[in-house]
Amino acid sequence: MPELPEAEVVACQLRAALVGAQVTDCWVGRKDIVREGLSSLPWYAGSVLQGVDRHGKSVALRFIKEQNVRYAVAELGMTGLLLFPSAETKHPQHVHVRMTFVGGREQEVRYWNPRRFGRFSLLDQAGLDRYCARRFGYDPLTVSSNDFLRIITSRRGRLKPLLMHQQSLAGIGNIYANEILFRAGLHPNVMASRLSSARVERLYHVTQEVLRRAIACGGSSVKDFFAPDGTEGQFKQHHLVYGKEDQPCPNGCGQMIRRLQSERSAFFCPQCQDRRKWR
């Protein structure tokens, strides 16, 4: 499932290839893939792509036309991708939106989403503001250490689900929550509100380090993720615990990586992430 690093990679590639290009056509193959704003579809022809932003795990393309601004927001969901024509597209029947351009390095971007857990939205500024306010909390890459401390210590419940709670911290999913917690030495089921400020400060820096390194590696192509140009993310080569059940702990402590089956699988080392060492 694409998470924050994958969405950031998508946004960066779209930005580099298409900002300044003009839309010649916008095609929607399935009306039910558009969550909001389908009636505004004709407006996009003739508009210019002004910028590309990331909000959590979603990518927002910002268009301008006659001083008016609108957005096309793609939710990547479980299997959603934004692809250039140069990327090989398996099962082309799952391309649900096409936007064609003139004046960019690429001539088209396609929204491919076979399982359709994500949606596409066509929004004005007020609509985007409502969309973001409803769905996204702080961005883990830009949140201050003080706000991060408040988020973690003021919430009851287990730490791993909190890291993945999009209305608290937007963009972290199961892959990166596992990797962050291992590197921070924190058990997935530690109660977040009971962590010391020193532990939270450590978690804050590890979170940013892991996400930034993953972006630099092009994200993690575990199952379905490909960047718009078709390349795979290589951060999966640096996963320490995710999917490593029954393999030796990479810290060399002598324990094997275990798996907790809850709402989402948690991979952890019982020695390096001992719940008794959470303070």
Cα 14 to chain centroid, rounded: 15
User: In which element (H, E) is residue 201 found?
Assistant: helix 197-216
Alpha-carbon span 172 to 159, nearest angstrom? 12
User: In which element (H, E) is residue 131 found?
Assistant: helix 125-135
Q: Catalytic residue at 57?
A: yes
Collapsed DSSP state (helix, strand, coil) of residue 224: coil
Q: Of 232, 245, 264, 270, which one is the catalytic site residue?
A: 264
- Note whether 169 and 143 are within 8 A (CB): yes
Q: Catalytic residue at 140?
A: no
Of 120, 209, 148, 207, the closest CA to residue 172 belongs to 207
Of 124, 125, 115, 111, the closest CA to residue 58 belongs to 111
Q: Catalytic residue at 70?
A: no
Q: What share of the chain is helix, strand, coil (3-state, %, to 5)?
A: 35, 25, 40
Per DSSP, the residues of 239-273 read -SSTT-TTSBPTT-SSPBPEEE-SSS-EEE-TTTT
Q: Of 2, 140, 161, 228, which one is the catalytic site residue?
A: 2
- What φ, ψ does residue 251 adopt, rounded to 5°? -80, -10
Q: Of 54, 57, 70, 244, which one is the catalytic site residue?
A: 57
Cα 247 to chain centroid, rounded: 27
Alpha-carbon span 185 to 199, nearest angstrom? 9
Q: Catalytic residue at 264?
A: yes
Amino acid at 52: V
Catalytic residues: 2-3, 57, 264
